[in-house]
Amino acid sequence: MKKLLITGLLVGTVAIVSGCGSQTPAPTPAPPPAPQVQSPTTQTAPTTGQTPASSTSTTTTAASGKDVYDQKCAGCHGAGGAGGSAAALNKESRTQAQVYEVVKKGKGSMPAYANMLSDAEMQAVSQYVAGLKK
């Protein structure tokens, strides 16, 4: 009886530990956009027919990379890459390109995210993870 109990505990522990890499958490729905209200006294500048230059910056990319990391990666790799049921990422020395490839193709029990994230999201999260190195 004791042997059966120990075997059951061992099998259950292995199932729980290996489950982290084989399942991905359900995506969190985005909050609805805030309504756009224009004051009656606000005047808009006349349009010139020109499209303004892109305002995407490293800060915006890093922030969205952190958001993706928090939603998709922190459950296994821990907050800030400190480690959890998967490897700590804040101690690795991978380049952004190397991190991108792991995110895209997966590695070991980590799933590939090529079909779950856009290229921009994979670029952003790989930039964020590469910047976690201490």
Q: What is the pLDDT of residues 62-103, one digit of tens each?
A: 569 999 999 999 999 999 889 899 999 988 888 999 999 999
Q: Is residue 85 part of a domain?
A: yes
Separation between Cα atoms, residue 69 and residue 103, nearest integer Å? 11
pLDDT of residue 117: 92
HEC assignment per residue over 49-93:
CCCCCCCCCHHHHHHHHHHHHHHHCHHHHCHHHCCCCCCCCCCCC
Q: Rounded to whole angstroms, how far apart are CA atoms 131 and 134?
A: 8
Whether 116 is in a domain gets the answer yes
Question: What percent of the chain stands above pLDDT 90?
Answer: 38
Residues 130, 116 contacting (CB under 8 angstroms): no
Q: How many domains does the chain have?
A: 1
pTM, to two decimals: 0.54
CATH number at residue 129: 1.10.760.10
Name the β-bridge partners of 107: 110
Q: Range of 100's domain?
A: 60-134
Q: Which of 19-28, 29-38, 73-82 has the least mean pLDDT?
A: 19-28
